[in-house]
Structure 1
Amino acid sequence: MARTLEVATAQYPIDTFASFAEFESKATRWVQDAVNHGSQLLVLPEYGSMELASLLPDAVRDDLHAQLGALQPMRDDVTAIWQRLAQRHGVTLLAPSMPWQLADSSYVNRAWLFTPTGADYQDKQIMTRFESGPWGISPGQDLKLFDTPAGRLGVLICYDSEFPLLARALVEAGAEILLVPSCTDTDAGYHRMRWCAQARAIEQQVAVIHSPTVGEALWSPAVDINIGRAAVYTPCDHGFPPNGVLALASDSTPGWQFARLDLEAIGELRHSGQVNNHGDWSLQHERLERTVKRLSLK
């Protein structure tokens, strides 16, 4: 397992395609570009696969609910492309998530993680108002820990990263890096993602990799506006940037952000860092219990 890791995180635009082959060409170019920079772990965003809705008839594409079912016949071909690319280049790759229909006909937001030798997925845990309301996306299966050539990984899809206990569960299970794919349509949404991703890196003393969708796709009722900045965050401690920002895009231009992660150095912070957030996590529980008890007596 590599202890120094080259990572690439995408600012990924929602494009339109005239054919499925055009999508495959895009995926191939993007992965090749990251590989050309020596990247071993590639992270792509939440709902990036919604660009495939551009291949649907206008009436279906414009219908929030109709597009969900119409995308399902493509899903196996989509995952096969990302799997082949991961195998061909020997990389670990988090593919853009997409709505995925389950046996009970419900839909989850599923992100597939591919390695040179296998594949697994993470479903989003907590739905936004738009997902659970107008769009009809449901919470999926439990969080997983992925043991990969790039390290032990956890995936918190967008809104999930705003809940510290989910991150804590993954880190307690052994996650060294948290992957945060996102899709946000306002500056406020992007900044929620940014600050929460950074908070998780500080709280848990791990690296956090954030990949957003960017740009406009006004033809899409689901992902029409996309605002974000790809980034890699670390603890704010010895040997790392004082602001915890190892990489951050300066503007919204589509492309990769690259960084080198020293996983051994990050892990060492838990023993010799200026602070011990990870180890001191349990101390808050006793103080919370005492505070709640004291305040409830008033």
Structure 2
Amino acid sequence: MANVGVVQYRIAPLQTEAQFWEGLEHHVRQAQKQGVELLVFPEYLTASLLALRPALTHRQACAYLDQFTGTYLKFFQKLSREADMMILAGTHIHEVNGSYVNEAFFFYPDGRVERQMKLHLTPEERKVWKLAPGEDLRVFDTPIGKTVILICYDIEFPELARIAAEQQAELILNPVYTDTMAGYYRVRHTAQARAVENQRFIVQCGMVGGLPHIPQIDAAYAQSGFFSPCDHPFPPDGVLALCQADQEEVLSCQLDLERLRKNWEQGKVSPFKDRKPELYRRLQAEIETKS
């Protein structure tokens, strides 16, 4: 049994940088009181710091956020150690080899830091932010099971979650930033599809609120949650727990990895095991031959 938490974070005006870091620590301490072992923050977490500046171009915003990289890393390494908690500290835009990337950082209490770049960039991230995509999917060994991070849009591509499942990942963490209800439901419904087709747990965490005068984070909508297969012994709708829609909240949920593993063997259906790779390869070859 693993106690996992999400911080459905509210974007709001800031008076000082210290206010931002103090707010994050407050959320971690709330989760600590709930006995959380692994805490997930949303995508673009540090973009809230743009509230301290007048409106910037996207390129200027990238350079501005990159200045906080050292502070961000030291802050969460210290907090993870003090709280004795694994923390997926959302994502942070920073520079790598001359390009800006959207990258998730996973902090362990012993000081280790794992990283996962966003692999599929949205049209806005490619054309406006001009970010560079990642090219590798990491699978992390954690005390509560093998874990992968699929950042927002990445969850909409079934191949990634399937590859993760084939590498024995049991828990898929999905930090998101969606600025409309339509965007939220895209990632929500595809996250639940990934949970069903791969028989895995999905933890999705998003932002709420907004800063109308900041073009990069002018609005956010989410209802973060924990999702399972829609099969015995889990709820019929595959929803283990949900935050209140569009409200800031720290929510925890007990994820029973043993029950998940039993579902692989005893579920009424087994879509992960019952797939037919040879058939798919033949059909794909026929399509390529015709084209």
The percentage of counterpart residues that share the same residue type is 34
Name the amino acid aligned to 2:27: W
Do the aligned residues in 1 keep the contact of 2:233 with 2:263 (CA within 8 Å)? no
SS at match of 1:98: strand
Query: Which residue of the partner structure matches residue 57 of structure 2?
Result: 63
Query: Which residue of the partner structure matches residue 261 of structure 1?
Result: 255
Q: How does 1:238-249 map to 2 (within 5 A)?
A: 238-249=232-243
Query: Which residue of the partner structure matches residue 174 of structure 2?
Result: 180
SS at match of 2:20: helix
Do the aligned residues in 1 keep the contact of 2:46 with 2:65 (CA within 8 Å)? no
Q: Which runs of 5+ in 1 are unaligned?
A: none
Give the structure-1-normalised TM-score: 0.92
Query: Which residue of the partner structure matches residue 94 of structure 2?
Result: 100
User: Equivalent of 1:271, from 265, 272, 276?
Assistant: 265
The separation in 2 between residues aligned to 1:147 and 1:16, in whole angstroms, is 37
Query: Which residue of the partner structure matches residue 12 of structure 1?
Result: 9
Q: How does 1:128-143 map to 2 (within 5 A)?
A: 128-143=122-137
Do the aligned residues in 2 keep the contact of 1:92 with 1:150 (CA within 8 Å)? no
SS at match of 2:254: strand
Query: Which residue of the partner structure matches residue 289 of structure 1?
Result: 282
Query: Which residue of the partner structure matches residue 109 of structure 1?
Result: 102
CA drift at 1:290: 4.5
Query: Which residue of the partner structure matches residue 147 of structure 2?
Result: 153
Do the aligned residues in 2 keep the contact of 1:86 with 1:92 (CA within 8 Å)? yes
Name the amino acid aligned to 1:185: D
User: Equivalent of 2:229, from 230, 235, 248?
Assistant: 235
Per mean C-alpha deviation after superposition, the further-off stretch among 227-236 and 168-177 is 168-177
CA drift at 1:49: 1.0
Do the aligned residues in 2 keep the contact of 1:155 with 1:180 (CA within 8 Å)? yes
- 2:157 aligned with 1:163: yes
Report the CA distance shift for 1:294/1:189 in structure 2 as closer, same or farther (over 3 A). closer
CA drift at 1:54: 2.1
Q: Which runs of 5+ in 2 are unaligned?
A: none
The separation in 2 between residues aligned to 1:23 and 1:289, in whole angstroms, is 53
Q: Deviations over 1:231-290 (max 9, x none)?
A: 000011112111000011232110122211000110111111111111123x15415624
User: Equivalent of 1:45, from 39, 42, 45?
Assistant: 42
CA drift at 1:142: 0.8
CA drift at 1:17: 2.4
- Runs of 4+ with deviation above 4 angstroms: 294-297
User: Equivalent of 1:28, from 25, 41, 46?
Assistant: 25
The separation in 2 between residues aligned to 1:138 and 1:290, in whole angstroms, is 33
Do the aligned residues in 1 keep the contact of 2:9 with 2:248 (CA within 8 Å)? yes
CA drift at 1:202: 0.5
The separation in 2 between residues aligned to 1:245 and 1:156, in whole angstroms, is 19
Q: Tell me the matched-pair count.
A: 289
Report the CA distance shift for 1:280/1:217 in structure 2 as closer, same or farther (over 3 A). same
Do the aligned residues in 1 keep the contact of 2:12 with 2:209 (CA within 8 Å)? no
Do the aligned residues in 1 keep the contact of 2:240 with 2:253 (CA within 8 Å)? yes
CA drift at 1:146: 0.9
Query: Which residue of the partner structure matches residue 204 of structure 1?
Result: 198
SS at match of 2:215: coil
CA drift at 1:164: 0.6
SS at match of 1:274: coil
The separation in 1 between residues aligned to 2:284 and 2:103, in whole angstroms, is 39
Do the aligned residues in 2 keep the contact of 1:158 with 1:183 (CA within 8 Å)? yes
User: Equivalent of 2:70, from 59, 66, 76?
Assistant: 76
The separation in 1 between residues aligned to 2:249 and 2:287, in whole angstroms, is 52
Q: CA RMSD in A?
A: 1.8
Give the structure-2-normalised TM-score: 0.94
The separation in 2 between residues aligned to 1:180 and 1:207, in whole angstroms, is 11
The separation in 2 between residues aligned to 1:100 and 1:202, in whole angstroms, is 34
Per mean C-alpha deviation after superposition, the further-off stretch among 288-297 and 262-271 is 288-297
CA drift at 1:67: 1.4
